[in-house]
Structure 1
Amino acid sequence: MTTVRLPLFPLNTVLFPGLVLPLNVFEERYRAMMRELLKTSEDEPRRFAVVAIRDGHEVAPTAPGMPDPTALPQRGPTAGFGTDPVKAFHKVGCIADAATIREGTDGSFEVLATGTTRVKLLSVEASGPFLTAELEPLEEEPGDEAAPLAKGVLRSFRQYQKRLAGARERSLATGADLPDEPGVVSYLVAAAMMLDTPAKQRLLQAPDTASRLRDELKLLRSETAIIRSLPSLPASELTRGPMSLN
């Protein structure tokens, strides 16, 4: 089993391969992480792992990287995550590759990263200024009937978009704007749907692409039916939620 050890950035959101993750980094433990990543040559990937925080464990803020006054009395890499931080995190996460890391005059950082590879969280180390984790990369198998499932998911996703945006909205993605590779479709739709963190986490850790697409098809049909039953709710209310498209 090949494993890798990387800095660990727990968040109240799920990162999917191929999706962009903007971060505003204020907490000192994550500032230290970014300073360490900046030591890596620009020619090499500046990688860290993102894992979603389990419900009931988060003391961190809801906005990625933003400071949380309630956590200030507790310092160090494990602040807010208990004596055994691995229990506070979901077991499947995603490696992020930081394309840009910019330090502000106040010592904070603006980071733009992209999800690359799913990983399984094996252990967490808290001996340094920030958490690190031993991770096992997870291969993505296509599964059975991934291609036709992807087409069905795209059809349902367009209906879902239309219901969210309203019939007169002209900014909907067209067929030319959406990918057709099943794995890419599965991650894009998982990130774009208005789902809570546990639901997104289940999609991230699906055993293969086809399984993820099947689950998305069910979710899209269910969510679209719910939206259809609430015609008087403004689109701005429907689209207001904790998840952005990143």
Structure 2
Amino acid sequence: MDAVPMFPLGSVLFPHTPLALRVFEPRYLTMMGRLLDAEDPSFGVVLIERGLESGGGDERSALGTMARIVRIEAGAAALFVIAVGRERITVDRWGADDPHPVADVATVEPLRWSDDLLPLRREAERVVRRVATLAAVLDEARWDPDTEISDDPVESSWQLAAMAPLGEYDRFRLLGSTTLTELLTRLIDLCLEEEPVLVARAADVAESDGDEL
């Protein structure tokens, strides 16, 4: 795909998951205006690895996700955009800003499902929802841990990755998975690593609350 409009962000977007944006910078307002007239109102999202997006000068990852706009609402000084992640992409070449970032990108092969993965997929959901519930106690949940997910096993695997209360570096590692086995196994391992940290922090909060009584 040539000259795809791009939106570098400080967070990872997974396929089949929602993206909410508040767009106020002039170059991205221009981008959204152009996309409103496009037959396929889609743009690429990549993680900012270093620096700040605002004003440019950031260092961007070469792996990202296409996002398709499903709704735009105008506010007093900004646009509120809802999009949904689609296929993964790699950036072949960044072009000159137009005035927003653009890039030539290639599509990454989608992950493939096998019925042999059903036990692993179920275990991933069990672990992710448990750890997400811990994060919710600390008001740090990315999604409501009881959120319904897709019946499609590949889509739901990506949605579980989005639900997991992990940092952006770990989320980027998940995005780079080459097989569904790798995604689900890595997702379980990362959540199990995060779980004792959340348990300890929740215990500290409970103890502090008790001291205030």
Distance 1:132 1:202, change over 3 A: same
- Extract unaligned runs of 5+ from structure 2: 138-143, 207-213
Distance 1:189 1:158, change over 3 A: same
Q: Calculate the TM-score normalised by the size of structure 1.
A: 0.73
State the shift of 1:47 in Å: 0.6
1:184 & 1:234 partners in 2: Cα distance?
35
Which residue type is aligned with residue 14 of structure 1? V
1:130 & 1:26 partners in 2: Cα distance?
13
Q: Deviations over 1:25-64 (max 9, x none)?
A: 1111111111111222xxx32011000101xx2223xxxx
Q: Deviations over 1:171-218 (max 9, x none)?
A: 7528xx344543223211221222221111110111111101000111
Distance 1:224 1:32, change over 3 A: same
* Map of 1:29 onto structure 2: 27
* Map of 1:238 onto structure 2: none
Q: Does residue 115 in structure 1 map to residue 81 in structure 2?
A: no
1:59 & 1:201 partners in 2: Cα distance?
17
State the shift of 1:231 in Å: 4.1
* Map of 1:7 onto structure 2: 5
Q: Deviations over 1:123-181 (max 9, x none)?
A: 11115211111111112233774322111101112321343345xxxx7528xx34454
Contact 2:96 / 2:102 at 8 angstroms: preserved in 1? yes
Q: Calculate the TM-score normalised by the size of structure 2.
A: 0.83
Which residue type is aligned with residue 44 of structure 2? A
State which drifts further: 219-228 or 5-14: 219-228
Which of structures 1 and 2 has the larger relative contact order (alpha carbons within 8 angstroms, sep 6+)?
Answer: 1
Which residue type is aligned with residue 33 of structure 1? M
* Map of 1:241 onto structure 2: none
Tell me, what secondary structure is at the counterpart of 2:37?
A: coil
Counterpart selection for 2:124 from 148, 153, 171: 153
- Extract unaligned runs of 5+ from structure 1: 61-67, 72-78, 82-87, 236-246
Contact 2:132 / 2:164 at 8 angstroms: preserved in 1? no
* Map of 2:52 onto structure 1: 59
Contact 1:121 / 1:136 at 8 angstroms: preserved in 2? yes
How many residue pairs match? The answer is 199
Q: How does 1:158-173 map to 2 (within 5 A)?
A: 158-165=129-136, 172-173=145-146
* Map of 1:80 onto structure 2: 57
2:126 & 2:179 partners in 1: Cα distance?
20
More helix by share: 2
Distance 1:39 1:8, change over 3 A: same
Tell me, what secondary structure is at the counterpart of 2:44?
A: strand
How large is the RMSD of aligned CA atoms in angstroms? 2.3
Regions of 4+ moved over 4 Å: none
Identity of paired residues, percent?
28
Tell me, what secondary structure is at the counterpart of 1:142?
A: coil
1:20 & 1:118 partners in 2: Cα distance?
14
State the shift of 1:9 in Å: 0.4
More strand by share: 2
2:145 & 2:178 partners in 1: Cα distance?
30
Which residue type is aligned with residue 22 of structure 1? A
Contact 1:99 / 1:113 at 8 angstroms: preserved in 2? yes
Which residue type is aligned with residue 5 of structure 2? P
